[in-house]
Amino acid sequence: MTLRNKATRIRLADFTGPPMRAFHMSWFALFICFFGWFGLAPLMPVIRQEFHLTKAQIGNLTVASVLITVVVRMLIGFVCDRIGPRRAYTWLLVLGSLPVMGVGLAHNYETFLLFRLAIGGIGASFVITQYHTSVMFAPDIVGTANAATAGWGNLGGGVTQMVMPLLFAGFVSLGAGAWWGWRMAMFVPGAIMLLTGIAYYYLTQDTADGNFEELRARGEMPGASAASGAFAAACRDPRVWALFVIYAACFGMELTIDNIAALYFTDNFHLGLTTAGLVAGSFGMMNIFARALGGILSDRCHKSSGLRGRAMLLGGTIFCEGLALMLFSRMRVLSLAIGAMMLTGLFLKMSNGATYALVPFVNRKALGAVAGIVGAGGNVGSVLASFLFKGSMPWTQALLILGAIVTVISLVSVMVRFSEEEERTARPSEQVAVAALT
């Protein structure tokens, strides 16, 4: 797909041009999806008491929150290639809002588990966000655009840790009680998701050159049937699976920490619900700059060392993430534990940004398929990591093991190689974009 009007700059004050409208709508949509996806996490101490949940059941809920996302992320990239990101996001937001608003109907562990599983589907929103900015921005800036939208969207995972306990406390102070309090709190992000889905349809378009149906009618892009072949081509590329594993080691760890952080600080440092939520939320709040930093550095490495430079940066940030995670697992003083968690978050989120700064260059004809497969890797990593927190193993030991695994996985980055032809095709388009600025 060759697009003529990709943006060569990120103009944050621009809300009129198609690329920047997509930029702002896609990060906000992802933000509110994260709010719905992880809104239950900081409320788990209250929910655990109401449903009398065991440690194993909490582990099952953690797995359920990300398990279905693996499947939906794999499919949503294919859907984007067929119908475009605009309609894909609209449907995901509207349908995803239903279990978020309806989770309050749960009355025991089994029904709550089913709702938690259904809510996990909205985690596929990330793939659409990355797809939409990838087709809207030129190669020299696409890493920054992808990392910024994903980082600000993922910020919802941190903000929800802080806001949901406050919403809960607000409803309780109005006389709702704990039973109604967490249910009413969850209705808020669900309602916003529904409204955002409607707005996404009317305020965005698929590409800077028009919607997919218009481009296909003009013969400027392959028909929808070509998406099947593109998905098969992506599955045969070993670099896609290398990035799948790497993303499991970075975004998978982010999801894991988002799920356990509030309980971790409650149980290990005896913090109250609101305080634990604020501490856990500080980890997610780093997305306001850390993921974007990974994308910015990746774009700069591309200018100096080509696509190879992007891959080398990714390997380095993953390695540092693993070391920081092991350090976090050893901290027994609250202030040191928070500092180590923030250091882990810095390298982890930079790795997230550096991963998706590479994705648009792996297979341009199968962008949705590559984005979906790699994105699913993050959830696979979280699912596998969650099993360590289900049994009798102390959570500190589980975090130490995960840190060691992440450190080893950093070596997988050597598999992400590009041919001389791929390097050349990335360079000219970048140079054209830069020339347009001068």
User: pLDDT (tens digit, 9 = 90+) per residue, 278-331?
Assistant: 888 888 788 888 988 999 999 899 888 888 999 999 999 999 999 999 999 999
pLDDT at 119: 93
Q: Tell me how many helices (H) and strands (E) the chain has.
A: 17, 0
Reported pTM: 0.80
- Mean pLDDT, rounded, for 173-198: 92
Question: Is 291 within 8 Å of 129 (Cβ atoms)?
Answer: no
pLDDT at 26: 96
Domain 18-435 superfamily per CATH: MFS general substrate transporter like domains (1.20.1250.20)
Listed range (2-11, 87-96, 387-396) with the worst mean pLDDT: 2-11
CA distance 62 to 44: 11
pLDDT at 113: 92
CA distance 212 to 86: 9
> E strand or H helix at 337, and its extent?
helix 334-362
- Give the single-character DSSP code of 108: S
CA distance 332 to 263: 15
- pLDDT of residue 226 exceeding 70, the answer is no
* Closest to 5 in 3D by CA, of 19, 22, 23: 19
- pLDDT of residue 141 exceeding 50, the answer is yes
With cut-offs at 50, 70 and 90, classify the pLDDT of residue 139.
confident
With cut-offs at 50, 70 and 90, classify the pLDDT of residue 3.
low
With cut-offs at 50, 70 and 90, classify the pLDDT of residue 227.
low
Identify which has the larger pLDDT, 435 or 332.
Answer: 332
- pLDDT of residue 438 exceeding 50, the answer is no
Average pLDDT of the chain, as a whole number: 87
- Give the single-character DSSP code of 330: H
pLDDT at 287: 83
Listed range (30-34, 279-283, 432-436) with the worst mean pLDDT: 432-436
Identify which has the larger pLDDT, 430 or 271.
Answer: 271
Cβ neighbours around 289 below 10 Å, total: 16
pLDDT at 343: 96
Cβ-Cβ contacts under 8 Å for 270 (sequence gap 6 or more) = none
Identify which has the larger pLDDT, 415 or 61.
Answer: 415
Q: Extract the tokens encoding 71.
A: 């499947």
- pLDDT of residue 341 exceeding 50, the answer is yes
CA distance 325 to 338: 12
- pLDDT of residue 106 exceeding 50, the answer is yes
pLDDT at 339: 95
Q: Extract the tokens encoding 179.
A: 């039973």
Give tens-digit pLDDT for 376-428: 998 899 889 988 887 778 999 999 999 999 999 999 999 999 888 878 777 64
pLDDT at 433: 38
- pLDDT of residue 435 exceeding 50, the answer is no
